[in-house]
Structure 1
Amino acid sequence: MRILVDADACPVKEEIYKVAGRHGASVAIVSNSPIRTPAHSWIERVIVSDGFDAADNWIAEHAGPETICITADILLADRCLKAGAAAVVAPNGKPFTLSSIGSAIAMRAIMADLRAGGDAIGGPPPFSKNDRSRFLSALDEAIVRAKKGQK
């Protein structure tokens, strides 16, 4: 089991290390610039070029049935699901699934259109302690399901 992390703005890296260590999963921290990681043999730092979507491309290319992807990026989540990732989880604990990704993409497009039209719609709510707790639970559940071969 390998966890691929879209790490540049990921607020739950410490939680990922904790859960991965408990389950014996390896972790790839993928970013455009160096990010400090604990010195464990099962944590790999992957630094990609600063090209457009370079980190996303690396993660999508390495996603598969033995991987769990962590990202808030809806389009990357879609790519990982299409690549057959065992699970895709947002940092707030929300799982992306093949049945939910279409509506998430549609909502993203609607919000982009509203912003482009000059509407002040605000952004997502601030990351909270409840989000962190929900993420820990969701990642743990995803790993257990993946180990059992369930999606």
Structure 2
Amino acid sequence: MMTIWVDADACPVAIKEILFRAAERTRTDTILVANQPMRTPNGRYVRSLQVSSGFDVADDEIVRRAEAGDLIITSDIPLAAEVIEKDCLVLSPRGEWLDKSNVRQRLNIRDFMDTMRASGAHTGGPPPLGQADKQAFANKLDTYLARTK
């Protein structure tokens, strides 16, 4: 049975709400992993897992527990690369699928931007999550869940 694992510390509230509704509607176990308490709705299919604080502790827990065929919700490219190696699927909160064909390129871009920031360049962050991003995420999640259920 597939589980949805959510890298919840940085996941936008609007995306969590979409996940909550989808989990209950499709009866899909969904686990939010974070290093702080997470509020989840009363329901049978959504729960949270609090891990100790520390760099990448939540990511490491997702990697440890995820199994082939699970869906991982994250915008963390190194986490995505690790779970893709375990044959998990990755959907970003912006509705982008990450897989073996594109995750290495995204990892290279991320590493390049880290190098630029370390040298003092102001690269800015990603734009705020917009309505089109939320809709893209919801559409791709719904399509995937309909196909797998």
1:28 maps to a residue whose letter is I
The answer to whether the Cα contact below 8 Å between 1:92 and 1:132 also exists between their aligned partners in 2 is: yes
- Per the alignment, residue 104 of structure 1 pairs with 106
Deviant stretches of 4+, over 2 Å: 141-145
Q: Percent identity?
A: 37
Q: Are positions 1:18 and 2:15 aligned together? A: no
Q: Which residue of 2 aligns with 1:39?
A: 42
Q: Please name the residue that 1:63 is paired with.
A: 66
2:6 aligned counterpart, secondary structure: strand
The answer to whether the 8 A contact 1:81-1:97 is kept is yes
Give the length in aligned residue pairs: 146
Do the aligned residues in 2 keep the contact of 1:68 with 1:143 (CA within 8 Å)?
Answer: no
TM-score, L = length of structure 1? 0.91
Matches within 5 A, 1:2-151: 2-11=3-12, 12-85=15-88, 87-145=89-147, 147=148
Structure 1 residue 51: Cα displacement: 2.4
CA distance in 2, matches of 1:21, 1:41: 7
Q: Answer 1 or 2: higher relative contact order, Cα 8 Å, separation at least 6.
A: 1
Could you tell me which runs of 5 or more consecutive residues in structure 1 were left unpaired when the two chains were aligned: none
Query: How far does residue 64 in structure 1 lie from its aligned partner after superposition?
Result: 1.7
